[in-house]
Amino acid sequence: MSRVAIKGLSLTYVNEAGAFPALSDVSLDVKEGEFVSFIGPSGCGKTTLLSIIAGLIKPTAGSVFIKDQQSIGYMLQHDYLFPWLTIEDNITLGQRILGIHNEISNKKALRWLDRFGLSDKRQERPQALSGGMRQRVALVRTLATEPSLMLLDEPFSALDQQTKLKLEDLVSNTLKMEKKTAILVTHDISEAIAMSDRIVLFTSRPGRVAQLFTVPQAIRALSPFDSRQHPEFQNQFQLIWKELERFETN
pLDDT at position 249 over 60: no
Q: Please answer whether residues 81 and 138 qualify as being in contact, where contact means their C-beta atoms are separated by less than 8 angstroms.
A: yes
What DSSP character marks residue 114? H
Q: What is the pLDDT of residue 3?
A: 87
Q: What is the pLDDT of residue 16?
A: 80
CA distance 64 to 8: 9
| Residues 180-223: tens digit of each pLDDT | 999 999 999 999 999 999 999 999 999 999 999 999 999 999 99
How many C-alpha atoms does 218 have within 13 Å on its Cβ side? 9
**Exposure string over 8-44, b if 16+ CB within 10 A, otherwise e:** ebbbeeeeeeeeeebbbebebebeebbbbbbbbbeeb
Cα angle 26, 31, 34 (rounded to 5 degrees) comes to 110
Q: What is the pLDDT of residue 69?
A: 67
Kindly report, as residue ranges, where domains of CATH 3.40.50.300 are found in the chain: 2-71+148-248
What DSSP character marks residue 124? S
Q: How confident is the model at residue 14 (pLDDT cuts 50, 70, 90)?
A: confident
Closest CA to 142 of 118, 186, 175, 102: 175
Evaluate if pTM is beyond 0.75. Answer: yes
How large a percentage of the chain has pLDDT more than 70?
98
| Residues 74-117: tens digit of each pLDDT | 988 888 999 999 999 999 999 999 899 999 999 999 999 998 89
83 burial (CB, 10 Å; 0-12 / 13-18 / 19+) is exposed
| Residues 111-168: tens digit of each pLDDT | 999 988 999 999 999 999 999 899 999 999 999 999 999 999 998 887 888 989 998 9
The CATH topology of domain 2-71+148-248 is Rossmann fold (3.40.50)
What DSSP character marks residue 105? H
How large a percentage of the chain has pLDDT more than 90?
77
Cα angle 194, 56, 73 (rounded to 5 degrees) comes to 45
Q: How confident is the model at residue 17 (pLDDT cuts 50, 70, 90)?
A: confident
Q: What is the pLDDT of residue 250?
A: 55
